[in-house]
Amino acid sequence: MRISEINRKTGETDIQIKLNLDGEGKFEGNTGVGFLDHMMNLFARHARFDLTVYCKGDVEVDFHHSVEDIGIALGQAVRQALGDKRGIKRYGQTILPMDEALILSALDISGRGECYYALNIPTQRVGNFDTELTEEFWIAFARNAKLTLHIRQLAGSNSHHIIEGSFKSVARSLRTAVSCDIEAKDEIPSTKGLIE
């Protein structure tokens, strides 16, 4: 079973995450950030992961610490659940339409955590969510999952649709990348024989 549990506590946040990569797309939790709860639910559903996320953060300051730290913890959970990466497809890519928005994501479970982010979100807020935190989340996630992540906006004018499209697209790319490669189920997908 590819399951992980992360407990991360700092002076700014207290986070508990449970992740099952071979789940059914179920989400449970409360991040303290309503918009992020919505995104986590979409992420779990489209990745087909079972995901539990609870966070107590200093949201009276703003949402930055909670959003970034959840990205960190979720990345750690993915990395832990993958173990030595034996038998995975490693790569995934998706072009996802969300109404007028069109979002491309491509990722490589490479052992090298980098995010190449190119979303042009037209408003500073969706509800009370700072849209610039979308980039902070994906950077934190990619660095801690140790994967190479590209996110590109090909079209879109609605901030909610662009952000939602990014979560759905990355989830579906990740779903492919972590899935079992039947033809190489006992192999680590690298000529080095190791993905750190």
Per-residue confidence (pLDDT) for residue 30, from 0 to 100: 98
Per-residue confidence (pLDDT) for residue 186, from 0 to 100: 85
Count Cβ atoms below 10 Å from residue 86 Cβ, excluding itself.
15
Kindly state the tokens that stand for 166.
């990014």
Give the mean pLDDT of 70-74. Answer: 98
pLDDT classification of 29: cutoffs 50, 70, 90:
very high
pLDDT classification of 166: cutoffs 50, 70, 90:
very high
Asked if the model's pLDDT at residue 60 lies above 90, the reply is yes
Give the mean pLDDT of 27-44. Answer: 98
Asked if the model's pLDDT at residue 196 lies above 90, the reply is no
Per-residue confidence (pLDDT) for residue 86, from 0 to 100: 95
Per-residue confidence (pLDDT) for residue 1, from 0 to 100: 79
Instruction: Region of 90 please: left (phi>0), alpha (psi -120 to 50) or beta.
Output: left
Comparing 55-69, 100-114, 131-145, 178-192, the range with the smallest average pLDDT is 178-192
Give the mean pLDDT of 188-195. Answer: 87
Q: Which domains are seen in the chain, by residue range?
A: 3-184 (3.30.230.40)
Give the mean pLDDT of 15-44. Answer: 98
pLDDT classification of 185: cutoffs 50, 70, 90:
confident
Per-residue confidence (pLDDT) for residue 193, from 0 to 100: 83
- The pLDDT tens digits for 141-155 are 999 999 999 999 999
- Distance, first Cα to last Cα, the chain: 20
Per-residue confidence (pLDDT) for residue 57, from 0 to 100: 98
- The pLDDT tens digits for 98-130 are 999 999 999 999 999 999 999 999 999 999 999
Which among 156, 71, 160, 148 has a CA at the least distance from the CA of 120? 156
Extract the runs of DSSP E, i.e. beta strands, from 43-146: 50-57, 91-98, 101-108, 114-118, 125-126, 129-130
